[in-house]
Each structure stands twice: as structure tokens, then as C-alpha cells.
Structure 1
């Protein structure tokens, strides 16, 4: 592991005399008493300040303590934006790897004086637009001592809202300096007044939810001309034809939770498969008559989808409207990606997500199980993958765990660490299969593979120590000790890329695929698709003896090895009957004529960049392209441009539920007419690589990456209710979407999105927002989902409070000068400083508050 130094003072000045080493008690007391204060000062410094870097931001770290051990200690912390400079001669700052840094006192450090902070000015790359962007859990360590988390840097969860904050991070108050990443950035904060204006422009007001409403919107709904409803208070009497009843147990269970369980005297409910009626796969016909209910489908998934719609139609009186629904999905692939590698998320959370996916007819779970920061599933015969690769702790030699990243801290027992046992994974896949959801395991390679690389190095070291033959010790090695290549990955690792010139790398891949196939077989869902990520790191093989020998043998140069690896791995998977999948940029390095007939590519190119072109090119190649556009489909982006919102902002400054709802996945270039770029500037698009006639994308997928998401509650907050808008767009093609015209470009003046289309879209949104506020969020409450409660828009005009909320019907409340919260009534008289917030649909939980200007 390299130790790149980013300090003005050399590490040779660090005091490390053995006689000065602290005791464990001294280190513990220091960790308990040290006060850390981190403040972002300026996201928009002048270019001369940043030079030679293209962009930077300024921050300050303040350390205060009554006293500290004289020497022999260091402070470790994570910074996901690289630190370019630290200006304090009393400390040496070194980059360990990834986002982990170390501060060590030098000979110039005069110690702490009570109440007098030690100030360390910092210059960092890029920008930090959120108070939640810095990472928590700084820790102190010394040789031979147990590392301890600095208490002042632990996250705090508000018991009333359930939201996490970082008290050691100074609040953002200077919008002019902190709201955008450069002087040209037009980003502004989502203040109460601005939220009010957005909600008012959307025209959303409380409307009654139609009894016939289903989410996602069906293809056709025909209410009975005479109206009326069917009483299900005695339950339903189920008969199933053409498929095993077991295929419907999960869907029937959800129907029972909705209030229509099974009963001997219940309303007849007949579910049958009729393949020759040519219903689309996943589609169904639901007929509710006075005589009973019938669901017809051509496959079990369609039958379950029909039951999901029926469950939504059951109202509080346990009645359903008389109607007929003819329905079919827009896309075959309706997916959700969940990253459990960066930070682990529990089996219970994944099972709960599967329930909600089935309720809203999503049918693919892309489970990201391994990355640099963790390996999350047990593989028979390779115990180090989980014994070491699933844990982060302070072990500089990484013999028992990986070093902390992403603010994990030194304690390996915290929830960000962990893995699924084989039994756990089988349970997850079985639950998915019961809900007609395919699980697609994902293990990123050749880049983003540090957890696996370090685990296999530990395996080799263990076997060598045990006297095993070298052939066995090195059987699954992913790295080459003699490789002197110098590189840095996008997350700033210098040792995270598999050496693709080693036969042992392919042996490892084959072993993992075979073991995953065995787990899927045990769960009753064959492994038919495997996501390899396909990320690489330029320069990783430039000085590898193995790759030099491979070039001499094959003629393949290091620069071309990434594409060669994808081709070779794809062929290996195809031989096992598994479809290879990967991200579009990495898969694009492969030669199409050297790839299997069936290839899955997640297109994550930017709308304002190469995204439309790469999606079209790969779809024209005959690949199954799944649209995964980061500006709108990355659910780890903040839901509002607000410094108290969580998430990475490089894909989007704000991706709210409305933005997901407005997405037009079958016409990517058209968004240039309607949406600004990342910095709020107008954009233009070209369609230089148009889709060929008859070519369509295969699906739509939302992504939840977990770098900033450390708990299951945070997963819920980031997923919901955006997941419901994803389901709407993946299932239902709206009549207001701009039709795709091959070769057509767009900009804000092209006018392809007409006033009539805008009116239809806005009316659809109003109905959707009311459906969430009036019904669906209450169902999420009942399921225990900790969804994001939207912030309230508000203004005070003529001494009267006017407030609105994104999802009409949610309770709004306000208080004045920090007093008691009270229910909002339109035009409530107020005087003083006013604060507003919404509550959950069931009224039991409060959302984040905003002050009204």
C-alpha cells in the first residue's frame, strides 16, 4: 500500500519515540475529550486559489482538547474529496488509501491548550455542497493500542424525525459561497419560499383519490358503467388454474394485509393462466364483478401483478370498485439496484425492499455484493472473502480486516460491516422468486475489486504459512506482487484492480460464479444473469511482468486489456449459460463481434454527455440496454438542493420524486429541451447515433449506491417515494412523452414538448402526487418504511402563513419562535420567526423543518 504524503512537513519530523507512547487509558480519554469541528468555508474560490487543480474548495479543521498524550498517536479520518493541502506545521497529513487520511503531530506541535482550538486550513478538490458530505467517526490510534472513535464525530439521530446529523460539521449558512461548485454554478438552496413556489407552480392541491386508481398506471381501466363496488369483508375464496398456487402465495399474502384475506364464505377469486390469449408477459386482465373477481394472465408474474393491483383497490371499508383492467408492462426489465458493498444493509431491509418492489411491479433486483470497501456474501471454500473482506477496522497490515473507509470507524461490529451467509442469500433469492423478481448478483471487476484482492492475498499468506504448495496458495490470487504499476482509481485507491493477465483471476471468477449458481439453484431460481461491473483503472497493468509476458504471447497491449477481459469473462459466463451484464462504459470497450449473442448493458452515460449515443449504439448492436441514467435514476443523489440533504451531487444537485416521474426513458435526447445541466445552465442535444427502426431499450433501473448511506433507515429515506415514480415510468408509457424521432436534436427553443403535452403531464403529476399523499404513503407507513417526508413550502404574506407540500394531504404543522408545534390552517396569522414541517401520512413521524423567511 502506498503512503502518499500531502503535508508541508515531512513524516520524518513526527515524534515517535518509544518512551512517549501513550497508555490505552490516555488514548481512550483523548478520544472521549477531543472536540473536532469541520467547516466548509468556500465552494467557489477564485481559479488562482485552486491552481493547478481545475477546481477546489476551502475548509477548516479545528481540534480542541484539554490535553493529549505527548506523542505516539494519530488521528484517522475519511475525506471522499481528496485533500490537496493542509496548512499547519504542527501536523503531518498523509493519504493512506481510498478516502482514508492520517493526521500525526510533528515535532513542531506544542500540544493542546484548554479552550484554544488548533486550526488546520484545508484545500480540497471539487466541492462539498452538503453538511452530510463529510464522513463521521474520526478515530485515534497508537502502536499496540486499540483504536478509539472520537466521540465528538459520531453521528446523531434525531429521535423525533429519525434523521441523522453530524454535529461536528458546521451548519451551512452562506448560500453565496456554499450553494454551488463554481462561480458559474446556478444552484440555489431549496428554501421554504422556493419550495412553496415550486409546489404552487405544479398546481397540486388536495384532490379525492379515485377508487379505481392503481399505481403504476394500468394500460386501460374501464369502470362498470353503473358504478358500484364489491364487499370483501368476508374475504375471498381463491381458486387457481394453470399454475401452482405456490407461485401466488406472496401476492395473496399482500392481498390479505390489504384487508382481503381468504375465507370459506368469501367472494370467489379465480386466478388462471391462459397462454393462448396472447396477453403480454407480466400483463394481466382483472375483472371485478358483482359475482366475483377473475384474474387472467399468460404467466405467473402477470397473475401476481393482477393480485398486486387488486390489493391496491381494497379500501378502508374492505370494498373494491366494479371494473375491468387490461394491463401490460412498458418494459420487460423493471429494476432496482441496491449497493450493499460500500456500506452493508441487513437481510431484513432487502426482504422489505422486495415486498415493495412486488407491490409496485418491479421485477429485477440488481444486488451489488462486492466493491472496494466490502465483500458481502459467503463463498464456500473462500472464507477470507467474508472473514476479512466484509469487515473494516484499524489493522494497518489488513490481516484481519480492511482499513476503514467512508467513515466506518475502527469498530468491526458496527452495522456498516457484515455479510450474508449462504443461508441468508438463499433466503433472499427465495423471497425474490416468490415475488417473481429475478436477483442479479453484481461483483465489480476488474476495477473496484479491492476487498476481493486483499482477501485473496490473505488466503495465499495463510496457505503459505501452513506449508501448502504454491500452486494452491496462488490458485485464486487477483494481484501480482511484482506489478509496479502506479495508478489511482476514481475513488483514489492504488491497489484495487484485478490483474487480468493472471490465470488465477479467471479461476477466481469461475469459482465465484459456480458457487453463486449453486446458491441460486438451492433457492429455486437458476442463475441466468451475472453483473461483472466492467469498470477498470487506466494504468493498472502498465508495469506488470505478467501483462508484459501476456502481450508478448498474444500481442494485446495493456491499454486494450480491459476490453479483452470483458470479452473473455463474457465468453466464460456464456459457456455456463449465464448472460453477462455490465455498465455501459466498460462494456463499450469490448468488440461486439467478440461478445456472446446476449449481452446486458446498464447505460449510465449522462444525458448531457455521451449517454444517449452510447445507449443507441449498444441497443443497435442487439444488446439488452437498461436505462440507468445518473441525472434521474441515481437515488443516492440528494432529493433537494439543500445542505441538510444526504447524497452525492455529481449526478444531480436534486432528484426529487417529480423529476423521476417526468423522465422520458425512450427519448433521451429530448430532455435537453426541458432540463438544465448539472449547474443549472441550458443545454442542447444531438442524435448522431439514432436508434434503428424497431430497436427499443430493454428496461429501466433505479440505482442506490451506498457511499453516504450507513443505515437501513437511510436506505428507506433515499429510496422512497422515488421508487414509486420509478415503478410508474418503468411500467407505464405516458401519453405526454415526446415521441422519439431518429436524428432529432433538442434545446430549450425546439418546442417539441407542446403546451398540450405539458398540460397532460402536469395533470398526471397532480393525480400521482395526490395518490401518494392520499393513499400510498399511508401504506408505506403501515409497512414500516421510513420514507422521506417532503419539506414544506411556505411564505408569510401580510402576517399570514401560506404553506403547501409536494404530496397533498400530508399533515402540515408550524411553530413560532421555537414554541409548540400546531396544525397548519390556511392563512394562519403569525408574528415572529416561523418554522414549518410535514408529518407522515399516518401522523406518527415528523419531517425535517424549514424556517420561513
Structure 2
């Protein structure tokens, strides 16, 4: 009998174990510092006993429950013999470090802080298969930066409490720990302030038929047949006169609930009520807050608050006093960006303030306001954060500067020199509004500390990514913009870049598949296998390369926008005539990717050119002092320098206002259709034998454009134009048959030896 009982006990113990060899290790984002695979796996039981040595960490059990497959319940138990134990390890850092050990018999998580517990559970979630198995593994991990932030703008378009909480869950899953809540702006006031009730009674609602952002979103919904651009019905209501209004706001009880939920995920909430600019809705509700008594637009930005009026300062402090009661975290964001100062120049009260305080000008008036608010923040035990415009006119060294203007690196340098702590969120890499086919790779290549001295790097608190929502009216649209670049910024903030992009891209795709299974929207990675402009001699073969399995591609050949009823791509097909091909990928859950357009044109092989005289490798490059918005005008600008280059890039020493003209010949090895590309910030244009092959012109951030040319063997005249006024980036070359972008091969580029 005793032997039988022992056998039964052993079987019960092994019920939660896997005797098979360890499954393939899941694709983790962000990468852990150290990972050692073990043997076998642990199978989650129907009820997972969860033992936590520190009772203050017990709220993590709720996050654990949401992180496990359906059908697995978490039950808090006592003792270290529970299948899942959490213990405090004094040797681990207190900003998120953890050790995770999974064996056939259970899971052990050691952490140095509550944030480490959440980070360890987030990793466990990614390790856990849909069948409830967790591969045996030893992971030791810790974050690179203590501050790993995400900002959501709910002023331009409103997101419900539940939607915000869903995003907080995703933040925790990818180890973000600072939620920056942009609660007010010119377009909406989203937080209840009881002493100023009109801010939400009036300022939280607007007429969408007269609002430019809402009108444009409606146009985009129709243009792209994309319902994610529509205003959600839950955010629409009718007033007493039957007029349709859009908006919404958070009650103070809503705020407390979100803050508590974030705290359970190890996330600190940083509120922002933007002052003294971006205050149009506040002025519309209380006109006496402005210099003119009107809510209006200036040359570039909206009416600022009147800083010469003591009642305005009382308003600002009154608003923040209520905020301090709702948000316990030490850091609070003042905004203070993009302030239109012309009203202050004409305002007697503001000019009196400037004179009375001994200020030099309106810049110093803003600086005076920031310092005044910082003193008020400090009296309430809070630390002021502001956008990098708070450096204008002088700055207290105790404020935190959120650097966003990547075209003004001097503001970052000035902040560091002044002794300020800084948070990095450069628009070039950390803004999630605009995106294209190369955006994910660009973001993943971002190195936050590049160019900073070691002592300056010590003042960097961390990295912050932002979603502004002018044209993001729905939660689905927000997710489209956030993911998958969120994954790249997660890895940069947690462990740093430096890894190769292709392995990261494969990890991203596995996460996107899981997102699709869970019903979340995201930007579907781009299809490949064609150029923006394609040439053929007799016919063209269309053969798509898919980013991952499970996608359905729909297309049209008449230039119309494809939808779920359009022709389905079943495999390679042939075009015999010119057409505009438009394609759209759909995920298994029905999420629609962006519409991509490929123009197909018939063109005979261009004959090679006979070139007299000796040729040498490379192209000539001429630098012009050009500040414009079109490649065509580059060579009308003053000449700066001449070069011979072996590849198409910005030559060393060329900076500032850049206009480059590359000229020479391209030596084509055999007859065929050749695919060209440029990737540039700002504009670039490629001409072959005088024809525009790649049109990437205009002022823009980093964008790739591509095109084909039918070329016979031999020399063909090549011209590439490029411009940028802020240093920029330029790549140009050929796309091979596998879709790989490569520089022009050695020996292909030629110029006259005497040029």
C-alpha cells in the first residue's frame, strides 16, 4: 500500500511536467541579457499555485492571470513548494532586474523590485505556448534604462478608459514602465477638474463636421475603404439641440482607476496638461485666460495663456493642484512646447510682467512661467517635466527635459550642459504617427546615446515613444500606428540595439501572428516583389514575396482600392498590358494592410551609349549650398565642392544645406530589367538615360521609392539628385531578384577620367 501511495504521488507531481525534449525557444522581445535553455518543459496545470514571499507583490497575480492561456487559473498559496514561486533577491537591481528559472517541476522568479516581478511575468507570457507548455530555461535579465516610456495623446482624439488600460497591459508585456498621458490640447480637454467644470462640460466636445482632423479622417476612411479612420460611435452624442458632437473625458474616479491599474503593472503615470500654449480649449471655456479674451490661432500655433494675468496663474496652479491629488508619481509634465508668443508682444499685462520681473523678452517670459510652475510643483513634492522648448530663455537645472526636436541637437546639448536630466524621444525615431516600408528597420537602428559623452549619458533617464492622434480616431487605428515599431523601441529601451535587423524582423513576425490570433490590429509588414514603377518589354511576371504565412492578398488592375471582395492573389501571374496594380494584404483575422500601388509600363530596352575617352570607377558628385524643396533646382544654388565617389552616399564633410548632383555612367553587364531604389531624407531622384526611374522628390522624412529600367548591355547615363537641409540620409542602389537592397556593384559606376 505504501509503495502504491508513493507511485500515485509521483504521478501527481509529474502531471505538471513535460518528459519530452525542450520545444524550440519562443522569439522573445525584448531580448533578455542571458538565456540558457534547459531540458524538457513545464506544463501549466488547470490551477497554478502562486506563492509570493513579499505580500506587496501580490497584485502581480492579476497580471499573471491575464498572461496565461485560457483555462489556467492562478491561485495564491503559501510556501516555496508552490508550482510558481516569487522571491526577493537582494542582488538584483531595483529597476526591473529578475531571474526566471523554469524546470520540469515548476517556475521560480527572483526579482529586486515589483517592476522586476512584472518583467519576469512578461517574459513568462512570451515563453508560454498556446498548449500551456513552458520550455525549461534559465534567464537573467535587467533593463538598460530605468525610464521606458510611451505617450498617448487623448486630446486630439479620445480613447476610453478601457482602451487605455488595454494599452497599459501591452506596455507591461513589452517592459515599458512610464505612461505619459497627454490629457489636454487645442482640440480637447479630457480630465475632470471640479473647480473648473466648463473644461469638460464644453471643452471635451466638438462638432466633427467643422473640425479639420475629423473631416480628414472621414475622407481617408472613404479613400482607403478603411473603417479604422471613422469616429467611434461610442464617442459621439447629441446635445440638447440635436447637434452631433464628438469627444469624451475621464472623471476623477476614472483617473484613479487607471492609475491604480497601471501601478498593478509596475507602470508610473505621468499626466500632462499642456501650458502655456496648446490651450485653445481652455481659453474657449474661460476666455479671460488669454491676452485678447478670444480663442484664436496665431501664425503657427494657438492663442497662449496670458502670463501677465495673475488670475491665469491661479488657474494653472488650481488645475495642477487637483492633478497632484490624482497622480501620485513624482514626475508631472507641463508641456510648454510650441508657444505662439506674438500675443505677449502686444499684451500690456505681459509687457508689465516682463518689466516687473526684469526679463529680457518673451522667451524669458515663458522661462519665468516654467520656473514659477516648477516651484509650485516642487512645493507639492513633484518634479517638472517639459518638452525641450523649456530650454528657451534659461532653465532650472532640476527640471527634466524631454528632447523631441531631432533637427535641433543643440537643445539636447544645452540641457545636458545645464545639468538637467533628459528623456529622449526624437521625432525621427520615436514618433509613431508616420510610417512606411522602412520605418521598423529605421527605428531598430536607433542608438539613443550616440554622440553623447559618457558623463552626459549618465543624465539620460531613458527613452520615450509618442503617439500623436490628429489622424488616429479609433483604437484600431492607434494599434496600427503603435505596432510593430513598439517592439523595436521596447528592445532599444530594455537592452539596446546592435543586433541584426533580419533576426529581429523574424521575431516581430511571430509576435504579430499572436496579435492577430488575439484580435489586435497592427501594421501588416509590406509585400515585396515589385517596384513603385515597373517596366517590361513584352510582358511582366508578378510574383509576390509575403512577409509571413497566413496572409491573403487582394488586388485590382484598374487603379481602384482593393477590398475583401477583390481578386485574390493565388500565385505568380503575367501582365500583358500596362496597368496600375494595387494590392492589399489581409491577415487571418481580417486586419487590412496598407494599399500599395505598382505602376506597370511597357518600354523597349534602352540602347547602350558609346562613350569616347577613358573612364574611371565612381561618379562625380557636386555639392551645392541648396535650401529648397525640389531636386530640379539644386544646381542653380551656389557651388560648395566637387568630389569623386565610389558609392552613392553623402560624402564625408558635406553637411548643413545639402544639394548633391551625382553624374556618370552605369555599366550594365547584360540585357534585362533592372530595379533601382533610393532611401532618403529629404528628396532624391534617379534618372537613367534621361528618364526618371525613381521619383523620391520633395521634402520628407526617410522614405524609400523604387523603379525599374529596361537596359541593354553596356553604358547608360546615370544622374542622381539629392537634397536635405538638416544633414539627412541617402542610400541608392539596386534591388536584386531576392528583394535585397544593395549598393551598386563594384565597377558598375563610371565617370570620365578627366572630370
More displaced 10-residue stretch of structure 1: 812-821 or 291-300: 812-821
Against the structure 1 CA distance between its residues 551 and 603, is the aligned structure 2 distance closer, same or farther, given a 3 Å change threshold? closer
Residue 722 (1) aligns with residue 485 (2): yes
Against the structure 1 CA distance between its residues 515 and 783, is the aligned structure 2 distance closer, same or farther, given a 3 Å change threshold? farther
Per-residue deviation at 1:288? 0.7
Unaligned stretches of 5+ in structure 2?
A: 1-22, 219-230, 239-243, 601-755
Per-residue deviation at 1:616? 3.3
1:261 equivalent among 44, 69, 73: 73
Per-residue deviation at 1:816? 6.7
Is the 2:42–2:104 contact (alpha carbons within 8 Å) kept by the matching residues of 1? yes
1:270 equivalent among 85, 91, 108: 85
Is the 1:258–1:311 contact (alpha carbons within 8 Å) kept by the matching residues of 2? no
Residue 803 (1) aligns with residue 544 (2): yes
Equivalents in 1 of 2:293, 2:177: separation in Å?
Answer: 45
Equivalents in 2 of 1:297, 1:264: separation in Å?
Answer: 18
SS at 1:728 equivalent: helix
Per-residue deviation at 1:557? 4.1
Is the 2:208–2:245 contact (alpha carbons within 8 Å) kept by the matching residues of 1? no
Residue 539 (1) aligns with residue 342 (2): yes
Residue 478 (1) aligns with residue 218 (2): no
Is the 1:250–1:435 contact (alpha carbons within 8 Å) kept by the matching residues of 2? no
Counterpart residue number, 2:274: 444
Counterpart residue number, 2:584: 837
Equivalents in 1 of 2:40, 2:540: separation in Å?
Answer: 47
Kindly tell me the number of residue pairs found equivalent between the two proteins: 536
Provide, for residues 66-125 of structure 1, a one-character-per-residue CA deviation record: whole Å limited to 9, x for no partner. xxxxxxxxxxxxxxxxxxxxxxxxxxxxxxxxxxxxxxxxxxxxxxxxxxxxxxxxxxxx
Counterpart residue number, 2:373: 569
Counterpart residue number, 2:553: 813
2:447 equivalent among 664, 669, 691: 664
Is the 1:448–1:497 contact (alpha carbons within 8 Å) kept by the matching residues of 2? yes
Unaligned stretches of 5+ in structure 1?
A: 1-208, 396-402, 458-476, 521-525, 641-654, 670-686, 737-760
Equivalents in 2 of 1:551, 1:838: separation in Å?
Answer: 58
Higher strand share: 2
Counterpart residue number, 2:313: 506
Is the 1:478–1:499 contact (alpha carbons within 8 Å) kept by the matching residues of 2? yes
Residue 530 (1) aligns with residue 332 (2): yes
Against the structure 1 CA distance between its residues 289 and 622, is the aligned structure 2 distance closer, same or farther, given a 3 Å change threshold? farther
Counterpart residue number, 1:790: 525
Equivalents in 1 of 2:275, 2:30: separation in Å?
Answer: 35
Counterpart residue number, 1:610: 408
Counterpart residue number, 2:136: 322
1:626 equivalent among 420, 423, 427: 423
Counterpart residue number, 1:581: 385
Equivalents in 1 of 2:305, 2:457: separation in Å?
Answer: 39
Equivalents in 1 of 2:297, 2:169: separation in Å?
Answer: 42
Residue 289 (1) aligns with residue 289 (2): no
Is the 1:282–1:302 contact (alpha carbons within 8 Å) kept by the matching residues of 2? yes
Equivalents in 1 of 2:540, 2:211: separation in Å?
Answer: 52
SS at 2:529 equivalent: strand
Against the structure 1 CA distance between its residues 836 and 486, is the aligned structure 2 distance closer, same or farther, given a 3 Å change threshold? closer
Per-residue deviation at 1:325? 0.7
Write the mapping of 1:447-462 to structure 2, written as runs, cut at 5 A. Answer: 447-457=277-287
Provide, for residues 517-568 of structure 1, a one-character-per-residue CA deviation record: whole Å limited to 9, x for no partner. 2223xxxxx1422111112222221122212332343322442201111111
Write the mapping of 1:67-78 to structure 2, written as runs, cut at 5 A. Answer: none
Write the mapping of 1:703-718 to structure 2, written as runs, cut at 5 A. Answer: 703-718=466-481
Equivalents in 1 of 2:526, 2:189: separation in Å?
Answer: 36
SS at 1:277 equivalent: coil
Equivalents in 2 of 1:558, 1:693: separation in Å?
Answer: 30
Against the structure 1 CA distance between its residues 831 and 519, is the aligned structure 2 distance closer, same or farther, given a 3 Å change threshold? same
Is the 2:50–2:61 contact (alpha carbons within 8 Å) kept by the matching residues of 1? no
Provide, for residues 113-140 of structure 1, a one-character-per-residue CA deviation record: whole Å limited to 9, x for no partner. xxxxxxxxxxxxxxxxxxxxxxxxxxxx
Equivalents in 2 of 1:407, 1:278: separation in Å?
Answer: 49
Residue 240 (1) aligns with residue 52 (2): yes
Per-residue deviation at 1:730? 1.1
SS at 1:702 equivalent: strand
Is the 2:57–2:114 contact (alpha carbons within 8 Å) kept by the matching residues of 1? no
Is the 1:344–1:415 contact (alpha carbons within 8 Å) kept by the matching residues of 2? no
Equivalents in 2 of 1:722, 1:785: separation in Å?
Answer: 15
SS at 2:183 equivalent: strand
2:300 equivalent among 482, 490, 493: 490
Name the TM-score, length of structure 2 as normaliser.
0.66
Equivalents in 2 of 1:538, 1:263: separation in Å?
Answer: 59
Provide, for residues 187-224 of structure 1, a one-character-per-residue CA deviation record: whole Å limited to 9, x for no partner. xxxxxxxxxxxxxxxxxxxxxx9524321111111112
Against the structure 1 CA distance between its residues 820 and 282, is the aligned structure 2 distance closer, same or farther, given a 3 Å change threshold? same
Per-residue deviation at 1:590? 5.0
Write the mapping of 1:458-469 to structure 2, written as runs, cut at 5 A. Answer: none
Is the 2:424–2:464 contact (alpha carbons within 8 Å) kept by the matching residues of 1? yes
Is the 2:40–2:135 contact (alpha carbons within 8 Å) kept by the matching residues of 1? yes
Equivalents in 2 of 1:325, 1:301: separation in Å?
Answer: 16
Counterpart residue number, 1:167: none
Residue 348 (1) aligns with residue 142 (2): no
SS at 2:460 equivalent: coil
Equivalents in 2 of 1:482, 1:366: separation in Å?
Answer: 31
Provide, for residues 264-296 of structure 1, a one-character-per-residue CA deviation record: whole Å limited to 9, x for no partner. 99971101122x213342111101112211110
Counterpart residue number, 1:701: 464
Counterpart residue number, 2:354: 551
Is the 1:345–1:416 contact (alpha carbons within 8 Å) kept by the matching residues of 2? no
Equivalents in 1 of 2:297, 2:569: separation in Å?
Answer: 57
Against the structure 1 CA distance between its residues 218 and 235, is the aligned structure 2 distance closer, same or farther, given a 3 Å change threshold? farther
Counterpart residue number, 2:228: none
Counterpart residue number, 2:179: 365
Equivalents in 2 of 1:589, 1:628: separation in Å?
Answer: 18
SS at 1:320 equivalent: strand
Is the 2:46–2:71 contact (alpha carbons within 8 Å) kept by the matching residues of 1? no
Equivalents in 2 of 1:222, 1:478: separation in Å?
Answer: 61
Against the structure 1 CA distance between its residues 766 and 260, is the aligned structure 2 distance closer, same or farther, given a 3 Å change threshold? farther
1:639 equivalent among 410, 421, 436: 436
Per-residue deviation at 1:791? 3.5
Equivalents in 2 of 1:423, 1:320: separation in Å?
Answer: 39
Equivalents in 2 of 1:371, 1:820: separation in Å?
Answer: 41
Is the 1:620–1:692 contact (alpha carbons within 8 Å) kept by the matching residues of 2? no
Provide, for residues 746-792 of structure 1, a one-character-per-residue CA deviation record: whole Å limited to 9, x for no partner. xxxxxxxxxxxxxxx43xx2222222222x11332244322122331
Counterpart residue number, 2:263: 433
Residue 516 (1) aligns with residue 323 (2): yes
Equivalents in 1 of 2:378, 2:496: separation in Å?
Answer: 33
Is the 1:619–1:691 contact (alpha carbons within 8 Å) kept by the matching residues of 2? no
Equivalents in 2 of 1:345, 1:571: separation in Å?
Answer: 32
Equivalents in 2 of 1:455, 1:820: separation in Å?
Answer: 49
Counterpart residue number, 2:116: 302
Equivalents in 1 of 2:402, 2:245: separation in Å?
Answer: 29
Against the structure 1 CA distance between its residues 234 and 550, is the aligned structure 2 distance closer, same or farther, given a 3 Å change threshold? closer
Equivalents in 2 of 1:392, 1:537: separation in Å?
Answer: 23
Against the structure 1 CA distance between its residues 824 and 279, is the aligned structure 2 distance closer, same or farther, given a 3 Å change threshold? farther
1:601 equivalent among 398, 401, 419: 401
